[in-house]
Amino acid sequence: MGTPAVEIEELSRVFEPRKKPPVVALDDVSLAIPPGEIHGLLGPNGAGKTTLVKILSTVLLPTSGRARVLGHDVVDETKAVRPLLGIVFGGERGLYWRLTGRQNLAYWGALYKLSARETKARTQQLIERVGLAERADERVETYSRGMKQRLHLARGLVGDATVLFLDEPTTGMDPLAAREFRTLIAELRDEGRTILLATHDMVEAETVCDRVTLIDRGKVVATESPRTLGQVISRFQRIDVEGVDAAVLGEIRALTGVSGVTEADGGARIEVDEEGATRVVLGRLVDAGATSVKTSLPSLEEVYVQLIDDRGLEL
C-alpha cells in the first residue's frame, strides 16, 4: 500500500477550559484513508468530528499522537500540508458576503498563490462546475443557502486540493440541492481526490461514502464500508409480512430470537435479534401461507443507533 492520503495515529485532543474540568474531544483515534476514497466521519454532535477535521486542517494542535496528510505531518509541516487541502464546512459562514461569488473565488485563488491568469481560468471553471454561472457576479449575501454551499465547495477546490475535508457540507440544504451536492462529491472522488466527509446525515454517508468511521465521545467505534457495517448487525433483520393471521403472529412472537412483532395496515413487521432466527420465522410464515414476505438489512442509521447506543456490541 502506498502513502495514505490521511493517516492518523493515536490522536488525542483534550481541551482545558478555565474553571471547568478538561474535555476529551478525541481519545486515541487511529485511522488511515487511502487516496481516492470518500471516507465518512459519522457521529452525534460533540463526538469529535469537527475537532478531528480541525487538526487535519492545521488549525488545531493535537494533545498527543500524529496525523499526516499525504505523508506530511499536520503539526510540523504545515507549509507542505496546506496547499494540498481544501476545507469546506456547512452553514452560512466562511464566505465574504459583500463580495460576489467570483470575487470570493479570486480572493481565495490569490491566497492559494495562483497567478491572476490561473485564478481567472480556475474561477470560471469552478463557477460553471458548481452551477453558479448565472449568479457569479452577484453579491454572496443574495445567494440561497444551497448556492452558498456550492460556492463553499468551489472555494475548497480553488487551490486544486488533493484532499478535501467537508464538515457537514449539506447542513440546511433542501433535499434536491443536497442530492446534487453529493453527485458533485462523487465526481471529485472519480477525479482521484480524497474526501473526508464529517456528517451526521446517515443517508449522505450511505449514499456517497466508500467507508465510514463511526465516532462517539472522541473514540472510534467502527470503521467499515456502509454495507459491511450493515452486515455486522445482520442478525438484527426485519421481516415485513402480509396475509398471515394474528394467531400465527402470536406463535412467531413466542419464537426464540424474535424481539418484536408489530401489526399495522393488514401486515406486520417482525424483528429478530439472533442469528438463525430469520430462517425459522420465514419457514413458519411460508407454512402459514403468507402472501408477501420481505426481509431487509438495517439501514446505516439503524447501525449507527445500535453501535452508539449499544456499546456491548462487538465488532
Partner 1 sequence: MTALATTVNVMHHAFRAGLADYRAIFTWKSWLAGWMVRVIAQVAFFALLGERIGDDQKTFYLLVGNSILVAALTGVFSLNMTTAERWAGTLPLLVASPSSPIIVFSARGSYLAVDGALSALAALFIAGPMFGMDLPWPRVVAVVPLTALVALASYCFGTFLAGIVFRFRSINSLVVLTTHVSLMAACGVNVPLSYYPDALEWFSRVLPVTNGLLAIRGVLDGADPATILGDAALEAVVAVGWMTLALASFNQLASRGRRDGSLDYGA
* Residue 119 parent element (H or E): helix 116-129
**Which window, 3-11, 113-121, 183-191, 202-210, contacts partner 1 (CB under 8 A)?**
113-121
Determine if 110 is a binding residue for partner 1 (CB under 8 A): yes
d(CA 193, CA 174): 26
What is the chain's percent helix, strand, coil content, to nearest 5?
A: 35, 30, 35
Site for partner 1 in 134-163 (CB under 8 A): 155, 159
DSSP lists the bridge partners of residue 163 as 85, 194
Site for partner 1 in 167-226 (CB under 8 A): 167-168, 171-172
Figure out which of the listed residues 6, 29, 87, 258 binds partner 1, where binding follows CB under 8 A.
87
Shortest CB 155 distance to partner 1, Å: 8
- Residue 133 to residues 70, 101, 138: CA-CA distances in angstroms? 33, 9, 10
Task: Give the phi and the psi of residue 122 in degrees, each rounded to 5.
Answer: -65, -40
- Residue 108 to residues 22, 42, 102, 121, 164: CA-CA distances in angstroms? 36, 29, 10, 13, 15
Figure out which of the listed residues 68, 72, 82, 150 binds partner 1, where binding follows CB under 8 A.
82
Shortest CB 114 distance to partner 1, Å: 8
Figure out which of the listed residues 90, 226, 267, 298 binds partner 1, where binding follows CB under 8 A.
90
Determine if 92 is a binding residue for partner 1 (CB under 8 A): yes
Residue type, 146: G
Cα–Cα–Cα angle for 266, 269, 274, nearest 5°? 155
Shortest CB 145 distance to partner 1, Å: 10
Is the CB of 69 or the CB of 258 nearer to partner 1?
69
Is the CB of 92 or the CB of 242 nearer to partner 1?
92
Burial of 204 (0-12, 13-18, 19+ CB in 10 A): buried
**Which window, 37-45, 82-90, 225-233, 242-250, contacts partner 1 (CB under 8 A)?**
82-90
Figure out which of the listed residues 116, 133, 246, 305 binds partner 1, where binding follows CB under 8 A.
116
The count of chain residues that interact with partner 1, using the rule CB under 8 A, is 42
Is the CB of 91 or the CB of 131 nearer to partner 1?
91
Distance of CA 159 to the CA centre of its chain: 23
d(CA 108, CA 119): 9
Determine if 236 is a binding residue for partner 1 (CB under 8 A): no
**Which window, 31-39, 49-57, 201-209, 236-244, contacts partner 1 (CB under 8 A)?**
49-57
d(CA 307, CA 315): 9
Name the site residues for partner 1 (rule: CB under 8 A): 15, 50-51, 54, 57-61, 79, 82-83, 85, 87, 89-99, 103, 106-108, 110-116, 155, 159, 167-168, 171-172
